[in-house]
Structure 1
């Protein structure tokens, strides 16, 4: 299955910092941690993501 052109992580990476500043004091630490985890998902920081067939590589 091909990767979608746009993912939630893409939106968070692009608009997250501005949104967090605008909502400072109204977002819980848990919510911020979840946003951060989504932002780093499938990035080089976590080793990336490679889709490959287990049988043929």
Structure 2
């Protein structure tokens, strides 16, 4: 039997300030169609920075 298409996909959110630090998470691509933006901690800069979803 064929599986249904998965609603959740694994994404990578990358720091906008240095571009090196990233987190991986999942998001529901049916409910959240736009790119994800979160304030996350960057250990290299030792502060919270904006992280954006990158394809």
Q: Which TM bucket (shorter chain)?
A: under 0.3
* Structure 1 or 2: more strand by fraction: 2
Using structure 1 for the length normalisation, give the TM-score: 0.22
Q: Which has the higher helix share?
A: 1
Q: What TM-score, normalized by structure 2, do the two folds share?
A: 0.23
Q: Larger radius of gyration, structure 1 or 2?
A: 1
